[in-house]
Structure 1
Amino acid sequence: MRSWLSSWRFLLSRRWVLFFLAILVVGYGTWWLGEWQFGRLHDRKERNAIVVANEDRTPIPVTEVLAPGREVPETDEYRLVTATGTYDVEDTIVVRYRTREGAPGVEVVVPLVTAEGTTVVVDRGWFGTDDPEIKPEELPAPPAGEVTVTGWVRADGTGDSTEIVGHSTRAISSTTIGEAIDQEVLTGFLALKSEDPAPDTALEPVELPDLGEGPHFFYGLQWWFFGVLAAGGFGYLAWDERKHGRRGERTVEKKRTGWPFGRGDEDDEPQRPRDIPPSTGTITPDRNDAAGDSTNAATRPNSSGRP
């Protein structure tokens, strides 16, 4: 038992303690990111359930859901409501840079003034155009006179994208639009489903949200897998050092034989150089300076000892 414990004492070294702390940080980070993705999946499912429950319910008057200065409850998103009034075409707002299937276009937002004097912001639909600053008079006109609209309740956009420049914006905010047209408006807006009477030229219908669950489940699993991989890597490296010693301090022979994947039955001693047998003799060339003699010619002694 004591020998087994001593073989793992290297884990108490500064290097391994810091390594272990780093793995803890990585593990916590991957766990948190996985939980975050699963949390987004949960929120997506709840939102989809609300949309499915609301989008086909019997329409109710808009004033039962929307009111000035009251934010739209999350449970009322995509609730079907109706409103009756007259379109204020001169105050049409264009929502820029709304593409569909790669085609450029805009969304057309027109205030609807009710008989009670309140104003409902209505997103009438999409119009394909290359001009993001298109003028209201260049767009298909809404029905003239009194009209009853049915639409889905939407919450206002937020941030700098709701700023109105001229008669255009990047995101719909009833509050910003009300300030721009100097009218009291109901907080939130309607995504148009139908108009009665119908217009001469209809816009492309408003797109309903995608009810898919997205990639959050697989992203969550991916982050958790990274955490398990980090813990497994730590365990393998610890086992490797316990079994074979610290990397960089292993014998030259083990590296030469490809250890730990080479042969395991070889000695750890370095191989001795081979002994070269001494030469038994040398032949010294005899240089002849006389004419006709071959220079640098090697001669061997005959039996008499003369050349």
Structure 2
Amino acid sequence: MRFLLSARWIGFFLAVVALAVVCVLMGDWQWHKREVRHESNERVEQHLAADPVPLDQVAPVGLKVTKDLEWTRVVAQGRYDPTSQVTVKFSTRDGRPGAEVVTPLLLDDGSAVLVDRGWVPTSNTAAAPSDVPAPPSGTVTVQGWLRPDSGAGADATTPVEGQVRSISSTGLAGSLPYDVRSGYLNLREQTGGTGGLELEPRPDLGGGPHFFYGLQWWFFAGLALAGFVWFARIEWLERRRGAGAASEDDQARETSSA
């Protein structure tokens, strides 16, 4: 199989090895994402199983809410400010168009926390919903999941005619006359009920597609190497048949000359 030492086959082999290495690295990357997802799910499950804690304990004024705190069950008490309420347009549920309703909750220290009170169906347009249930009046006790701010830019989080496209305390802070705490709450329970709004569903704690994507990339790596062996074998068989045919021709010529 000396043909494997030719420039063409050496180049082919190096290309296959490079492809296989890339596939292995992609598989490792997917496996790492699977492990990160698994660790995140464990943390979320712990948060969901724990008893609610006071908002001041996990998200006091000035503390940025991070991913590590996401889905922590918290409780807060205050008064809703419906005059500063916004809706999050283009929010879908099970394929249905709708909007999230976000209302600041004024706390005793003068600051506020944003509360996503739930989802309301709308027509499939960018227009703000006109029939949003009002929040309870007076002092209410709110229990919800703590969520970090959306990473969307200012164009998505700054209110325009009472609407935003993503929830962010920093994006809304400029339009509010009081300090706003980092992150927001997904409402779960409150004094006076939820007013008919559809609450945020529980987070998806599935493993995602990373396990099968990793196997798929590793399969591609093996397929690339197997393909090289297959093509090399085909070349070897063709050369062998060619050599055999040449030997038979030589024998035939010797026989005829005798």
How does the TM-score come out when normalised to structure 1?
0.74
Number of positions where the alignment pairs a residue of Structure 1 with one of Structure 2: 246
- Mapping of residues 247-262 of structure 1, within 5 Å: none
Say which of 120, 133, 144 aligns to 1:140.
133
Say which of 206, 225, 233 aligns to 2:219.
225
Unaligned runs of 5+ in 1: 1-6, 255-266, 270-307
Is the Cα–Cα contact under 8 Å of residues 82 and 151 in structure 1 kept in the other structure? yes
- Mapping of residues 1-307 of structure 1, within 5 Å: 7-8=1-2, 10-130=3-123, 131-134=125-128, 138-160=131-153, 161-199=156-194, 201-245=195-239
For residues 94 and 66 of structure 2, the distance between their equivalents in structure 1, rounded to whole angstroms, comes to: 31
Is the Cα–Cα contact under 8 Å of residues 178 and 184 in structure 1 kept in the other structure? yes
Query: Deviation digits for residues 271-295 of structure 1, max 9, x if unmatched?
Result: xxxxxxxxxxxxxxxxxxxxxxxxx
Is the Cα–Cα contact under 8 Å of residues 59 and 82 in structure 1 kept in the other structure? yes
For residues 187 and 206 of structure 1, the distance between their equivalents in structure 2, rounded to whole angstroms, comes to: 19
Quick one: percent identity of the two aligned structures?
Answer: 40
Is the Cα–Cα contact under 8 Å of residues 89 and 128 in structure 2 kept in the other structure? no
For residues 14 and 69 of structure 1, the distance between their equivalents in structure 2, rounded to whole angstroms, comes to: 65
Larger C-alpha radius of gyration, 1 or 2?
1
Of Structure 1 and Structure 2, the greater helix share is in 2
For residues 268 and 114 of structure 1, the distance between their equivalents in structure 2, rounded to whole angstroms, comes to: 99
Is the Cα–Cα contact under 8 Å of residues 94 and 133 in structure 1 kept in the other structure? no
Q: Aligned pair in 2 of structure 1 residues 241, 64: CA closer, same or farther (>3 Å)?
A: same
Q: Secondary structure at the match of 1:126?
A: strand
* Aligned match of 2:254: none
Query: Deviation digits for residues 84-103 of structure 1, max 9, x if unmatched?
Result: 11111011111111111221
Structure 1 segments, 4+ long, off by >6 Å, are none
How does the TM-score come out when normalised to structure 2?
0.88
Query: How big is the alpha-carbon RMSD for the aligned residues of Structure 1 and Structure 2?
Result: 2.3
Unaligned runs of 5+ in 2: 251-258
| Higher RCO, Cα 8 Å, sep 6+ | 2
Displacement after TM superposition at 1:194 (Å): 0.5
